[in-house]
Amino acid sequence: MEIGINFTLGETLNDVQRLIQDGLVDYCELLIDNFLHVPPDDIARAFDVPLGFHIMLSRFLETDLASLKQLAHRLKPYIDTLQPTYISDHVARFSHQGRQLYHLAEVDYRQAYHAIKVRVEIWQELTGSQLLLENFPSILDGGRDAPEFFARLQADTGAGVLFDFSNAICARQNCELPLAAWDAVIRGNRHFHVGSYSPSILAPPITLDTHDAELSSDTLEFLYQHQEHLQDDGVTLTYERDDNPGYDVLARDLTRLRQHLTSQPD
Amino acid sequence: MPAIITTKDEDLLDALIDPRQQIDYQQDARAFVRIDTSLRVYWHTLFDTCPSLLELSGPEGLSIFHPFMSWAADHHLRMDWTLYLQLYAWLTRSEFRHRLNDRHAQQLVAAAAARWATSDRGSSAGVAITRQGRADLLVGWKCRRIDQGREIEVIALDTPLPPPDGLFGYFFIPDFELAHFPGWQHPDLPGMHP
């Protein structure tokens, strides 16, 4: 198992490089579409560890094909130079009737399956790579269809799942989707995310994927249930943190995560 | 009218962007809170980036937020980076118009440039924006170094550019050098004609 950290903003480079030097992370996951004007060789020089790619704003389910082709063309030198361990993207609604949704919405997994399948095939062909697709931090009951959707999509297209453990906790708390519903998806994939969540301001509280705090005990417990699979060679687990809390906070949580996943069962 | 019962995000997409629709949902339901969560992101995107707007509206910002978001829904605004320019245009015709000043305007233009620089995935490296009556450009550059983020700068011009036809003009810059003026493009500002 390798533990990594997300890298989304240049301002955090010093902290991330220090985490690498101190052996607290084994790889980095770049939010690659934030860095498409940074020469690939400069990125290669900044990180002496393997890299994963996470794509945030391809909007590949919605954007026109010409724009998608152009983005794939711009990604290619980064893929060729940096040889990412994986390339991942999002199954979500980024807009509604042409209007941007700032808080992304969950797709209708049943109704949109075939349209999504076609787009996944196109996006994989354009990037020349297998895509991993992240599960959504579901809020409403439509999220209960997610495990079956991702398993079917993986079987039909070869696209894997970038399974986010804390997003699954959100879905359990919001729409009572049992964690066990994801067992087959977890066993069938090798690249994972974990982060923190927070309750909404209004009641009844819903659980929101926020990446702004240390990992919760139920997230750690969920990871521990899959400890054996996570410890396999080549399996990656990216710790996501977006609030830029500084080296000490990151180091503490990453150390706790590694100790938790390498501890012996009671 | 009975409250709308929904079980999927797909059923409440309109309400996620239009605050007038939230009252159609039962207040003690997840859907209501889910809509509130979505609307709060728009609120923070506007007021965290342009805190001077709160001087106009009061600390909660709702006297700007609700009518502006409703107007945005009525005019089907795309909610892209030009939203901040559209907000300024809306403010010039609102009850707040007499208290608008240059600082509000520059903060909104800077916010538009910053949002373009972080959200656009096209090949351009920068966007230059001007406002009617100003001789300078506010330029937003995308991240060009692995240890930095996007950059915003005000550029004074030795030779003034022709004024834009409307309240704002902008153009995209293909690389990290402001060498050529390709002519103004204009944001969609509903109800304001050049």
Domains of chain A: 2-262 (3.20.20.150)
pLDDT of residue B77: 98
Radius of gyration for the alpha carbons in chain B, expressed in angstroms and rounded: 19
Residue B62 sits in the same domain as residue B133: no
Question: B2 lies in a domain?
Answer: no
Is this complex's ipTM strictly greater than 0.90? yes
pTM of the model: 0.96
Give chain B positions within 8 Å (CB) of A11.
147-149
* Domain span including residue B44: 9-91
Residue owning tokens 């829904």: B73
Tell me the pLDDT band of A264, cut-offs 50, 70 and 90.
Answer: confident
Number of structural domains in chain B: 2
Residue type, B13: L
B113 and B85 part of one domain: no
Domain-located, residue B122? yes
Q: Is the residue at B64 inside a domain?
A: yes
Chain A residues whose beta carbon lies within 8 Å of the beta carbon of residue B35: none
CA distances in angstroms from B160 to B113, B155, B156, B181, B191, listed in the order given: 20, 11, 9, 11, 28
A108 to chain B: which residues are within 8 Å by CB? 8-10
Q: Is there a domain that residue B182 lies in? A: no
**pLDDT of A266 over the 70 cut:** no
At A265, is the pLDDT very low, low, confident or very high (cuts 50, 70, 90)? low
pLDDT of residue B27: 87
Residue A263: its pLDDT value, please?
A: 81
Q: Is residue B86 located within the same domain as residue B18?
A: yes
Over its length of 194 residues, how does chain B's per-residue pLDDT go in tens digits? 556 767 899 999 999 999 999 999 988 899 999 999 999 999 999 999 999 999 999 999 999 999 999 999 999 999 999 999 999 999 999 999 999 999 999 999 999 999 999 999 999 999 999 999 999 999 999 999 999 999 999 999 989 999 999 999 999 999 999 999 999 999 999 987 65
Assess if residue B145 is contained within a domain.
yes
Residue in chain A nearest B46 by alpha carbon: A102
B1 occurs within a structural domain: no
Do B51 and B117 fall into the same domain? no
What is the average per-residue pLDDT within A85-105? 98
B127 and B87 both lie in a single domain:
no
> B73 to chain A: nearest residue by CA?
A99
Residue B169: inside a domain, yes or no? yes
Using the structure block, give the residue that is written with the tokens 């804390």. Answer: A166
Q: What percent of chain A has pLDDT over 90?
A: 97
Contact B144 A37 (CB under 8 A): yes
B79 and B108 fall within a common domain: no
pLDDT score of A198 more than 90: yes
**Length of chain A in residues, anyone?**
266
| No. of helices (H) and no. of strands (E), chain B | 5, 4
Confirm if A254 and A5 have CB atoms less than 8 A apart: yes
Could A11 and B80 be called an inter-chain contact, meaning their C-beta atoms sit closer than 8 Å? no
The CA dihedral of B129, B172, A91, B6, to the nearest 10 degrees, is 40
Query: Within a domain: residue B192?
Result: no
Please state, in angstroms and rounded to a whole number, the distance separating the CA atoms of residues A53 and A33.
9
